[in-house]
Chain A
Amino acid sequence: MSVDLVRVSFTVNGSPYDLELDPRRLLSDALRHDLRLTGTHVGCEHGVCGACTILVDDAPMRSCLIFAVSLDGAAITTTEGLQSSDGGMGPVQRAFHECHALQCGFCTPGFVTTVTAYLRDHPSPSPEDAREAIAGNLCRCTGYQNIVAAVQRAADLVTEGATGACVAPGTEEPT
């Protein structure tokens, strides 16, 4: 079946794109296959796992639940766009690294985007807040403990700049 391609313009990580796409192209596939931005990972493809989470106009959304042609005029941010201005790891990425909040890393891009948006509105989350913030993202490696620590570490890095170190659960100094 021949399909009519549809024109769509949006920015990804600040770069403008003007594409002609099959309308059934999911945003997750458009990012990975058409734009070669493979930082966004595709897990369940029906909105459950959170691996493909990206930011649309700064709000986290599932890229597997959006047709790319539907985002005409939008500003999209992927994990590639969340690095620091010098090209190194951004604060959330660095916190995940420092806190060992990933093992295989497949789910990490979805966590990084979700946590980045969450910290904008909630600059100092409690461990309970952090759990709520990541409740829509699945990780099969870590058991989440280090991810919760990374959310709090990221909050410190975002608000204070780089001081201190990650405090993993169960490793706090006795008081």
Chain B
Amino acid sequence: MKPAPFTYHRPRGLDEALEVLAALGEAGKVLAGGQSLVPLMSMRLSAPAHLVDVNHVPGLATVHVDEHVVRIGALARHSQVEHDAAAYDALPLLRQALRHVAHPTIRNRGTTVGSLVHGDPAAELPAVLLLLDGSVTLRSAERAREVEAASFFIGPMETALRPGELAVAATFRRPATGSGTAFVEVTRRHGDYAVCGVGAVVGASSARVALLGVGPGPVLVDLPDAVRDEPLDDERVHALVEEAIDPEADIHASADYRRHLAHVLVRRALAEAHHRAPGRAA
């Protein structure tokens, strides 16, 4: 349970970090919160030759809120985002989802952007980014590019991040005024990875859900007929979700159990989001 040897880099500024990453190319791996990376290294499932520790780069621990988006900087810890009052007012779904990310102790160190870049198919944040049509800002020594969530998550633990790039921020788009949101999941143990989870946004004329644990990455399902002011058409929702998911069996759950959970949690998340939509009678 000890990581393999590596060479350590501690850049003190963003430009320096990008220069180091550019020079290292494929050999360089970014260390931010490390709450997924360090255990992988301790179990020798990952053995990067070089770690570029961005924890001492100033200006990255940011939570920016405006009328359209909430933008999270690379070094904002989950707990910082979770407890940010302005971010909660603007986008309650972030806190709703973050409460399910491991334990508070892990959230004190782990970063929101790092969780996105890690791309674990059982993680909450990728589903939230996809659900909100979000994007990730990637910087390299040469350029910056913005990658939409739909093309950022490629497969299990695989994202569009290229060697030499640093994910400097993630942008979550605020849903239309009058929307309600919810995040629900089922875990084997408190704070553990979800067997299945669902985030939902229900607006005046639209509804959508994003599921985790039922595919190689987060799965987005638009529910165009699930209008907020009318009862949901359960059969239609069931059919659309069934079409989108492709759960696999592992030691924690069979494929059938995951499929069952997906449908139950979709109903639960939609009902909760529907209930929370402002202006709705309780």
Show the binding face of A for B, using Cβ within 8 Å.
Answer: 1, 3-4, 6, 22-24, 26, 29, 45-47, 50, 53, 56, 59-62, 64-67, 69-70, 72-73, 114, 135-136
Is there an interface contact between A136 and B8, defined as CB atoms closer than 8 Å?
Answer: no
Of the A-B pairs whose beta carbons lie under 8 Å apart in the complex, a sample of 6, sorted by A's number, is: A24-B4, A50-B103, A62-B109, A65-B109, A70-B31, A135-B103
User: With an 8 A cutoff between CB atoms, is B51 at the interface?
Assistant: yes
User: Total contacts A to B, CB within 8 angstroms?
Assistant: 88
Show the binding face of B for A, using Cβ within 8 Å.
Answer: 1-8, 10, 31, 34-35, 38-39, 41-43, 51, 53, 55-56, 79, 102-106, 108-109, 190-191
Instruction: Tell me, in angstroms, the Cα distance from A69 to B55 when the chains sit together.
Output: 11
Supply 8 further A-B pairs (C-beta < 8 A) apart from A47-B102, A60-B105: A3-B7, A23-B6, A47-B35, A47-B39, A65-B106, A67-B51, A67-B53, A69-B53
Closest CB-CB distance, A144 to chain B, in whole Å? 12
Is there an interface contact between A135 and B191, defined as CB atoms closer than 8 Å?
Answer: yes
Residues of chain B within 8 A of A6, CB atoms compared: 8, 10
Nearest-CB residue, chain A, relative to B51: A23
Nearest-CB residue, chain A, relative to B50: A23
With A46-B39, A59-B79, A60-B108 known to touch, is A70 a contact of B55 (CB < 8 Å)?
Answer: yes
Nearest-CB residue, chain B, relative to A71: B55
Instruction: Tell me, in angstroms, the Cα distance from A28 to B2 when the chains sit together.
Output: 11
Nearest-CB residue, chain B, relative to A8: B10
Is there an interface contact between B109 and A50, defined as CB atoms closer than 8 Å?
Answer: no
With A26-B2, A45-B42 known to touch, is A69 a contact of B8 (CB < 8 Å)?
Answer: yes
Residues of chain A within 8 A of B7, CB atoms compared: 3-4, 23
Most buried by A among B31, B55, B105, B191: B105
With A26-B2, A65-B38 known to touch, is A70 a contact of B105 (CB < 8 Å)?
Answer: no
Instruction: Tell me, in angstroms, the Cα distance from A110 to B7 when the chains sit together.
Output: 30
Is there an interface contact between B191 and A136, defined as CB atoms closer than 8 Å?
Answer: yes
Instruction: Tell me, in angstroms, the Cα distance from A67 to B103 when the chains sit together.
Output: 20
Closest CB-CB distance, B57 to chain A, in whole Å? 12
Residues of chain A within 8 A of B79, CB atoms compared: 59
Instruction: Tell me, in angstroms, the Cα distance from A116 to B31 when the chains sit together.
Output: 28
Is there an interface contact between B5 and A22, defined as CB atoms closer than 8 Å?
Answer: yes
Is there an interface contact between B51 and A53, defined as CB atoms closer than 8 Å?
Answer: no
Which of A4, A45, A65 has a CB less than 8 Å from the CB of B34? A65
With A6-B10, A67-B34 known to touch, is A61 a contact of B4 (CB < 8 Å)?
Answer: no
Residues of chain B within 8 A of A26, CB atoms compared: 2-3, 38, 42
Is there an interface contact between B108 and A24, defined as CB atoms closer than 8 Å?
Answer: no
Residues of chain A within 8 A of B39, CB atoms compared: 46-47, 65
Residues of chain A within 8 A of B5, CB atoms compared: 1, 3, 22, 24
Most buried by B among A22, A24, A26, A50: A24
With A64-B42, A67-B34 known to touch, is A50 a contact of B6 (CB < 8 Å)?
Answer: no
Residues of chain A within 8 A of B109, CB atoms compared: 56, 61-62, 65-66
Instruction: Tell me, in angstroms, the Cα distance from A56 to B191 when the chains sit together.
Output: 21
Instruction: Tell me, in angstroms, the Cα distance from A24 to B8 when the chains sit together.
Output: 9
Closest CB-CB distance, A174 to chain B, in whole Å? 32
Residues of chain A within 8 A of B104, CB atoms compared: 60, 136
Residues of chain B within 8 A of A65, CB atoms compared: 34-35, 38-39, 106, 109
Is there an interface contact between A114 and B38, defined as CB atoms closer than 8 Å?
Answer: no
Instruction: Tell me, in angstroms, the Cα distance from A165 to B10 when the chains sit together.
Output: 50
Residues of chain B within 8 A of A1, CB atoms compared: 5
Residues of chain B within 8 A of A50, CB atoms compared: 103, 105
